[in-house]
Amino acid sequence: MNIPNAPTRTVFYAEYISDLLGQIWLAATDKGICSIRFDEDSASFIAYLATRVITSEAPSIVHSPVETRPYSDALDDYCEEKIQIQADLPVDLHQMTEFQQQILQIVRQLPMGATTTYGDISDQIENPNASRAVGQVLRRNPIPIIIPCHRVISSDGTLGGYGGAIGSERKIALLKHEGVILA
């Protein structure tokens, strides 16, 4: 029996590779995609899932390209065909607070090829002094690409941050892929 809002007991994961994104790891629950990470190996990704995503007492982490297929297909469309990832693709943000989810849902609605600023998002949540908080939420975005935090830039036109050691290069590549002209 599936109990609404019950902690997820199984997380499915798989590797995804593309020229644009390189190697990434996807994880999904029965509610939707819950994680995309740029970890180098499966062990690092599984360790992350075990400590950050799963909240049940006896979690199960299962390698399953079949269960993650809808998300890898959406990424294929984005990477290969330059097709916007649909906003109705199921996501599981159970590990995020209501405030964080509000910000991520706003960012999720950003159309491909468009950008906005941290300040614009803080204005949308009716908290004009929350630009830094918005940046921190996006820094912890568990589902980059699906929730396109790379489309959020600083008000002075600079890129702002993007996770990982090669984050800025990745952010530039994603924006260029979407046709955003960078000075």
- Which residues are marked as active site? 149
Q: For helices 98-108 and 131-139, what crossing angle results, to 10°?
A: 80
Distances (CA, A) of 61 to 56, 120, 125: 12, 38, 35
3-state secondary structure string across 68-102: CHHHHHHHHHHHHHCCCCCCCCCECCCCCCHHHHH
Which residues are within 8 A (CB) of 123 and not within 5 positions of it... i.e. 6 or more apart? none
Which residues are within 8 A (CB) of 162 and not within 5 positions of it... i.e. 6 or more apart? 149, 150, 168, 170, 171
Cβ burial 24-53 (10 Å sphere, 16+ → b, else e): bbbbbbeebbbbbbbbeeeeebbebbeeeb
